[in-house]
Amino acid sequence: MQAVVWIEPGRVEVRDIREPDLSDPHGAIVRVTATSICGSDLHLYHATIPVMPGTVLGHEAVGVVEAVGARVERVRVGERVLLPAVIGCGFCRSCRQAYPVDCETLPMKVLGVSPLLPGTQAELVAVPYADFNLWVLPPEVADVDALPLTDVFPTGLFAAENARIAPGDTVVVIGCGPVGLCAIQCAQLYGAALVIAVDRVPERLDWAKRLGAQAIPADDDVAPRVRNLTQGRGADAVIEAVGSEKTLHLALDLLRTGGRLSMVGVLVKEDVRLPLGTAFLKDVTLRVGLVNVPRYLPALFSLLHKHRLRAGAMITHVLSLADAARAYAMFDRKEQGCIKLCLRP
Ligand SMILES: [Zn+2]
Ligand SMILES: [Zn+2]
């Protein structure tokens, strides 16, 4: 089968590899119908997160169940399913509390970061603990609407929840990639009166504006403009969706006293410095972490069903899996107004 394989920094290739086999009685094989490239895949692409040559990438997918193990009870062959970005066993104490990030059984919680758990950017993917990790999709939900629910929308909702948004709040979202655009929508769902979007890429700011946010280019003097929009007070909450020390400092600067900082940008550097003195004087509440996708899926399916999410609209490009190398380069350079890419095997 064809799969996207990491070769070296800045280079992936579509290779013919062996199909996964069903040795795990709790597992399933899913025929991928749509998979996407995530911002975190770019960290692997450039090896800013360590990755081994030969790793099959990808952790966001929808598809059709091809085969199930002997002990799978809930999921059936032929069903259309969504695979969340974070997986668990479903049996341990953490998973039973919808907290698979801390799964006590699975050593790795994300597919496509190691050769031990090959990823979704392939024709077929082996999914451990299928009963817990596969979500059957209603027929009316299109692949492109389901894909953002695998990771970026749950992360956006998690970010908004952590920002403790109250009706009427002013919320700044730093970074308007797919996660930031989802966070804007989720902040609005929580009742934010004003969402201010900050990014460097004009097309991304255009998207934020279309969602109803006020856009500020990151190269402008952001802080005075935010103060202007908040009667000099600063934002009630800031969602950081980039994952850099610079944007973290900016986030603190933009907050009002007593504000909340919610950080979901992937931090690849361990030793990120946070100016705690500033945070202390500002009485800041900080929440940072990795999303527990299953916790947010019931709410997101409900919102999607009621047409309250713009999910599929974010998929600006649909390419063949065979074009993955070109897709990675385009997504990496944010070319051609690319927000979120879908690859079809
Ligand atoms: Zn992802
Ligand atoms: Zn578990």
Q: What are the DSSP calls for 166-191, one per residue?
A: -TT-EEEEE--SHHHHHHHHHHHHTT
For residue 153, pLDDT beyond 90: yes
First to last CA, the chain: 10
| Ligand 1 ion: Cβ-proximal residues, 5 Å cutoff | 38, 60, 85, 151
Domains assigned to the chain: 2-151+292-344 (3.90.180.10), 153-288 (3.40.50.720)
Q: What is the pLDDT of residue 266?
A: 83
Instruction: Please give the pLDDT value at position 130.
Output: 98
Strands (E), the chain: 2-8, 11-16, 28-36, 61-68, 80-83, 124-127, 135-136, 170-174, 194-199, 214-217, 235-240, 255-263, 285-288, 315-320, 340-344
Which residues, chain by chain, have CB under 5 Å from ion ligand 2?
88-89, 92, 95, 103, 105
Distance 41 CA to ligand 1 centre (A): 7
In this structure, are residues 81 and 131 in contact, taking their beta carbons and an 8 Å threshold?
no
Q: What is the DSSP letter of 110?
A: S
pLDDT of residue 272: 84
pLDDT of the residue at 234: 97
Residue 60 Cα to ligand 1 midpoint, Å, equals 6
Chain segment 235-245, per-residue pLDDT in tens = 999 999 999 99
Strand partners, 343: 35, 319
Name the band, by pLDDT with cuts 50, 70 and 90, for residue 112.
very high
pLDDT at site 267: 81
Task: Give the phi and the psi of residue 201 in degrees, each rounded to 5.
Answer: -95, 120
How many angstroms separate the CA atoms of 84 and 77, rounded? 18
Distance 282 CA to ligand 1 centre (A): 32
Q: What is the mean pLDDT of residues 22-31?
A: 96
Q: If you measure from the C-alpha of residue 230 to the centroid of ligand 2, how many angstroms do you get, rounded to a whole number?
A: 44
pLDDT at 191: 98
For residue 94, the ligand closest to its alpha carbon is: 2
| CA 209 – CA 201 distance, rounded (Å) | 13
Q: Which of 252, 244, 243, 251 is CA-nearest to residue 278?
A: 252
**8 A C-beta contact, residue 256 and residue 234:** yes
**Identity of the residue numbered 252:** L
How does pLDDT run across 259-275, given as a tens digit for each residue?
999 999 888 777 888 88
Distance between CA atoms of residues 183 and 144, nearest Å: 18
Beta bridge partners of 135: 82
Ligand positioned closest to the Cα atom of 42: 1
